[in-house]
Amino acid sequence: MAKKNLTGAKSPIKRSRNVRGLFKLALWVMAGGRCQLQGCNKYILKHHLTGDVGNFADIAHVVAFNEDGPRGDSEDRPDDINALENLMLLCGGCHRLVDKTRPVDFPVSLLREYKSRHEERIFRQTEAQEDFATTILQLKSRIRGDMVDIPATNVRAAVAPRYAHDPKGCIIDLTADESGGQSFYDSARETITRKVARLYEPGMELQSTRHISLFALAPMPLLIHLGTQLSNKVAVDVYQRHRDTDDWVWKELGRPVEHEFRLIRAGTNSNNVALLLSLSGTLTLAKLPAAIDKSFFIYEITLKSVIPDPRYLRLASEVEDFRRVYQEALRFIENKHNSLDTIHLFPAVPAPIAVHCGRDLMPKADPVIRIYDNDTDRGGFNYVFSVNERRASRSSSR
């Protein structure tokens, strides 16, 4: 159809339906040889019934070739109607659906979104190497009564260049439990223990990937418990939700924040030790329960030269720096208090740090960790439960 000029008359300039060879090649590559309509993904270089190899695709226009065609009167009609950005690779059925059967249900913005998502997915999956497969593990719980979803697109972006062996992964969903209090913690711990144990069973996906990508939003005691259930024989990458960009991708720029360990107060009883983790916020002695009296030696891990802040954790290297300082702190405390059975832990930390507080414990060597949670409704820090209790049971049986 001839293009109309500004007066409404048809322009003598003819448009060609022929798409340039380079654009055709780029479209096929970016689509991965699959239909780009969301939810279809049909492979269109082979007939779905007979298996015959061939070209079973249509090159469709987002904004129609003709101005009176589907979406042809779009305000942002491209000057080059055959531009790569205006082309989609579709199977014949989907092409008819969006152009003839239900064109009103497929506006320009939606088709462009489908095209963009599909091409991004194909790019990330073809970029990944064979040994970059990972098992996705999610822990979701209500935080102060609110639920925070973890979109699949955020997960894919965060783990790249790794790719999810199974996009759904393993989800430990605690959001339906609104019992609250100790009964919630008891039930949640049991669920976490059971689900993670199932993940490591022979024949499960993890046996082939040997890698976990963890996305967790839950109260800190549960994150620490989750960490104790993760085997050190399988690599684990833990991701952080960034408030400024509302995504889970570790930042690459900026100066890393360092951590430091120090003694806050010397006590009178070498068997009484508390460890404060002042990272997301500053913990003071006034915030501790009355039971943590002057007999306690009180140690702290905090940020070096930076005020504790919930947004401080930006780089993956900062997690590793905390792990180093945390393990050095445990070794120092155990050497200084050589008959110590228990450490009272008061965490104000981001989720990845809480997970490693549990995962980096040594069951055969480290003391029992009594975990306290800061609950403003209950007046501050309260004891929730203990982890690493196997050592205590062995020592009591000797």
The length of the chain is: 398
Q: Rounded distance, CA 58 to CA 246, Å?
A: 37
Helix (H, G, I), strand (E, B) or coil at 143: strand
Q: Is the distance from CB of 30 to CB of 114 less than 8 angstroms? A: no
Residue-level pLDDT at 99:
94
**Portions of the chain given CATH number 3.40.50:** 129-239, 259-397
Express as a percent the part of the chain with pLDDT over 90: 66
Q: Which residues have C-beta within 8 Å of that of residue 115, sequence separation ≥ 6?
A: 36, 62, 88
Does pLDDT of 149 surpass 70? yes
Express as a percent the part of the chain with pLDDT over 70: 91
Q: Rounded distance, CA 123 to CA 214, Å?
A: 23
Q: Rounded distance, CA 241 to CA 17, Å?
A: 46
Per-residue pLDDT tens digits for 298-352: 999 999 999 999 999 999 999 999 999 999 999 999 999 988 999 999 999 999 9
Residue-level pLDDT at 382:
92
CATH 2.60.40 fits 129-239, yes or no: no
**Locus of tokens 């609104």:** 178
Q: How confident is the model at residue 223 (pLDDT cuts 50, 70, 90)?
A: very high
Q: Which residues have C-beta within 8 Å of that of residue 124, sequence separation ≥ 6?
A: 156, 157, 160, 161, 163
Q: Rounded distance, CA 120 to CA 64, Å?
A: 23
Q: Rounded distance, CA 315 to CA 252, Å?
A: 7
166 or 99: whose pLDDT is higher? Answer: 99
Per-residue pLDDT tens digits for 260-309: 999 999 999 999 999 999 999 999 999 999 999 999 999 999 999 999 99
Residue-level pLDDT at 2:
44
Residue-level pLDDT at 395:
38
Q: Which residues have C-beta within 8 Å of that of residue 319, sequence separation ≥ 6?
A: 238, 240, 313, 352, 353, 356
Per-residue pLDDT tens digits for 31-82: 999 999 999 999 999 988 888 999 999 999 999 988 888 998 888 898 888 8
For the segment(s) 259-397, the CATH number from 1.10.3710, 3.40.960, 3.90.1070, 3.40.50 is: 3.40.50
Per-residue pLDDT tens digits for 99-148: 999 999 999 999 999 999 999 988 887 776 657 889 999 999 877 666 77
Residue-level pLDDT at 29:
94
Mean pLDDT across 205-223: 93
Residue-level pLDDT at 148:
72
Query: Rounded to the nearest 5°, which phi and psi values hold at 321?
Result: -65, -40
88 or 394: whose pLDDT is higher? Answer: 88
